[in-house]
């Protein structure tokens, strides 16, 4: 009997082990990016984080779909304390640049190298679904690496980046196959991550400390002023992205489906913010002159995650449609196709956000030990929204929760 020795280095057992490591790294990266989105001051980075974290969610989804075909349960810890330490430490960066260089100049290049090696070493036909997943993940990851190369070109490796590289070496690299280095000492700059209860902004912005309401509420009669107001408001939608990002960060025990939907929700809000920025630019206006209403984030973040989610999806988002529909009709009547298109796409996203709210609120309430009928909770939270948000008060209560 002839016995053929395969040349492939990745057999099925190793394949599963590696897929678990990749899934873990991608998922934790998503969570770290969400945690840092409100804490990051630079608007260009915030906008990029929204896209990156949604793309990480696509990668986790690809890996999840493959993993559930080969193991039950599909999500498993990587069974490597050094790898868990790497991802637990990566969040404690001293600042946003260090965070991004640690993730995008150390971990991601190593990840892409592992994906490429894996793609060459697995059984091509029997493991074709893994190859398909890695091929598509690599499209994004190569872009992420290139983004960081360009963004931080000429910036030397900092202590934090070196530390992340040492932690990765302690884990034997992404695959765990490399010789394992000693446990590194953290650099002096290491800053234990604290949940951001305020939304960071660059110094180029002025901060508005009160709710300004929508144009109709303020009786904006002039059509041009009303339209400008609407798109200035879009340029503030980073605030919604920041709340969704905070909810992701504070909900480590919610099911994967929630994180997946919320990554999309968060990304959409960064796109709505960008839509406002682009509209203003297209009309010769500078978005940095629009005061940032970060009080809205601070106000929402004092509540538990179920309340925050309900305030956003059943307060702001569910109530925006009549106003948006009137806007759309006005823009169409005026032949303003650009504004009409932007509002149409926004409404398509927002319909989905309200649906996410209905889908996930019961489970988020359970996570927060809120024991009352869902409809009653929604009713009470919308009343709170009317009282504190629509009124423009945005009170910060003395008994503000201490979030860990
Ligand atoms: Fe939005
Ligand atoms: Fe939304």
Answer yes or no: is pLDDT of 94 > 90. yes
d(CA 338, CA 179): 56
What pLDDT digit, counting tens, does each position of 105-138 carry?
999 999 999 999 999 999 999 999 999 999 999 9
What is the DSSP-derived secondary structure letter of residue 396?
A: -
Q: Which ligand is located closest to the Cα atom of residue 355? A: 2
Indicate the SS3 state at residue 57. helix
> What pLDDT was estimated at residue 73?
96
Q: Which ligand is located closest to the Cα atom of residue 343? A: 1
Rounded distance from Cα 340 to ligand 2 centre (Å): 17
Answer yes or no: is pLDDT of 214 > 60. no
> What pLDDT was estimated at residue 208?
81
The pLDDT of 65-77, averaged and rounded, is 96
Rounded distance from Cα 237 to ligand 1 centre (Å): 6
pLDDT range class, residue 404, cuts 50, 70, 90: very low
Rounded distance from Cα 137 to ligand 1 centre (Å): 27
d(CA 237, CA 343): 13
Which of 193, 192, 189, 191 lies closest to 162 in space, CA to CA? 189
Rounded distance from Cα 349 to ligand 1 centre (Å): 7
Rounded distance from Cα 343 to ligand 1 centre (Å): 10
Q: Which ligand is located closest to the Cα atom of residue 351? A: 2
pLDDT range class, residue 219, cuts 50, 70, 90: low
pLDDT range class, residue 212, cuts 50, 70, 90: low
Rounded distance from Cα 354 to ligand 2 centre (Å): 8
With beta carbons less than 8 A apart as the criterion, state whether 326 and 226 touch.
no
The pLDDT of 146-152, averaged and rounded, is 98
Strands annotated E in 139-241 = none
d(CA 226, CA 212): 13
Locate 185 and state its tokens: 């000492």
What rounded mean pLDDT belongs to the chain?
95
> What pLDDT was estimated at residue 402?
47
pLDDT range class, residue 230, cuts 50, 70, 90: very high
The domains located in the chain, with CATH, are 12-170 (1.20.1260.10), 223-390 (1.20.1260.10)
What pLDDT digit, counting tens, does each position of 325-383 carry?
999 999 999 999 999 999 999 999 999 999 999 999 999 999 999 999 999 999 999 99
d(CA 109, CA 107): 6
pLDDT range class, residue 49, cuts 50, 70, 90: very high
DSSP H or E segment with residue 380: helix 374-385
With beta carbons less than 8 A apart as the criterion, state whether 159 and 187 touch.
yes
Q: What are phi and psi of 45, to 5 degrees?
A: -70, -40
Q: What are phi and psi of 275, to 5 degrees?
A: -60, -40
> What pLDDT was estimated at residue 398?
73
With beta carbons less than 8 A apart as the criterion, state whether 242 and 35 touch.
no
Locate 152 and state its tokens: 């931080």
Rounded distance from Cα 146 to ligand 1 centre (Å): 29
With beta carbons less than 8 A apart as the criterion, state whether 127 and 15 touch.
yes
Rounded distance from Cα 47 to ligand 2 centre (Å): 15
Count of alpha carbons within 13 Å of 68, Cβ hemisphere only?
6
With beta carbons less than 8 A apart as the criterion, state whether 258 and 360 touch.
yes
> What pLDDT was estimated at residue 319?
96
Rounded distance from Cα 313 to ligand 2 centre (Å): 7
Percent helix, percent strand, percent coil in the chain, to nearest 5: 65, 0, 35
Q: What are phi and psi of 367, to 5 degrees?
A: -60, -30
What pLDDT digit, counting tens, does each position of 248-302 carry?
999 999 999 999 999 999 999 999 999 999 999 999 999 999 999 999 999 999 9
Rounded distance from Cα 348 to ligand 2 centre (Å): 10
Rounded distance from Cα 55 to ligand 1 centre (Å): 19
Rounded distance from Cα 372 to ligand 2 centre (Å): 25
Answer yes or no: is pLDDT of 170 > 60. yes
Which of 291, 296, 297, 293 lies closest to 206 in space, CA to CA? 291
d(CA 125, CA 359): 38
Supply the angle between the helices 238-249 and 12-39 in degrees, to the nearest 10. Answer: 130
DSSP H or E segment with residue 61: helix 43-70
Q: Which ligand is located closest to the Cα atom of residue 317? A: 2
Q: Which ligand is located closest to the Cα atom of residue 313? A: 2
Q: Which ligand is located closest to the Cα atom of residue 234? A: 1
Strands annotated E in 244-399 = none
């Amino acid at each position: 009997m002839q016995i053929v020795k395969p040349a492939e280095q990745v057999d099925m057992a190793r394949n599963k082990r590696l897929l678990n490591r990749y899934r873990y790294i991608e998922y934790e990266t998503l969570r770290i990016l969400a945690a840092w989105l409100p804490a990051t001051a630079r608007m260009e980075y915030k906008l990029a984080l929204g896209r990156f974290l949604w793309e990480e969610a696509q990668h986790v989804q690809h890996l999840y779909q493959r993993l559930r075909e080969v193991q039950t349960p599909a999500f498993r810890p990587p069974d490597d304390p050094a790898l868990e330490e790497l991802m637990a430490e990566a969040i404690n960066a001293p600042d946003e640049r260090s965070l991004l260089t640690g993730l995008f100049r150390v971990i991601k290049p190593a990840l892409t190298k592992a994906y490429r090696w894996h793609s060459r070493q697995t059984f091509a036909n029997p493991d074709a679904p893994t190859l398909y997943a890695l091929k598509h993940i690599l499209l994004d990851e190569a872009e992420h690496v290139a983004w960081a190369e360009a963004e931080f070109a000429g910036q030397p490796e900092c202590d934090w980046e070196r530390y992340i590289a040492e932690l990765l070496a302690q884990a034997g690299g992404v695959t765990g196959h490399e010789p394992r280095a000693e446990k590194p000492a953290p650099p002096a700059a290491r800053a234990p991550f604290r949940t951001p209860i305020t939304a960071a902004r660059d110094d180029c912005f002025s901060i508005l400390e009160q709710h300004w309401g929508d144009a109709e509420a303020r009786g904006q009669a002039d059509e041009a002023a009303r339209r400008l107001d609407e798109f200035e408001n879009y340029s503030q939608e980073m605030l919604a992205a920041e709340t969704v990002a905070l909810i992701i960060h504070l909900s480590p025990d919610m099911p994967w489906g929630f994180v997946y939907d919320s990554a999309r929700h968060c990304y959409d809000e960064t796109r709505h913010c960008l839509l406002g920025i682009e509209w203003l630019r297209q009309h010769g206006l500078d978005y940095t002159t629009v005061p940032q209403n970060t009080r809205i984030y601070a106000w929402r973040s004092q509540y538990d995650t179920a309340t925050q989610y309900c305030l956003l999806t059943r307060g702001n988002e569910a109530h925006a449609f009549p106003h948006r529909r009137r806007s759309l009709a006005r823009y169409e009547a005026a032949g303003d196709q650009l504004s009409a298109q932007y509002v149409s796409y926004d409404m398509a996203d927002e319909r989905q956000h309200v649906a996410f709210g209905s889908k996930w609120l019961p489970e988020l309430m359970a996570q927060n030990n809120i024991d009352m009928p869902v409809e009653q909770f929604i009713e009470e939270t919308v009343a709170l929204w009317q009282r504190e948000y629509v009124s423009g008060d945005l009170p910060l209560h003395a008994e503000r929760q201490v979030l860990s």
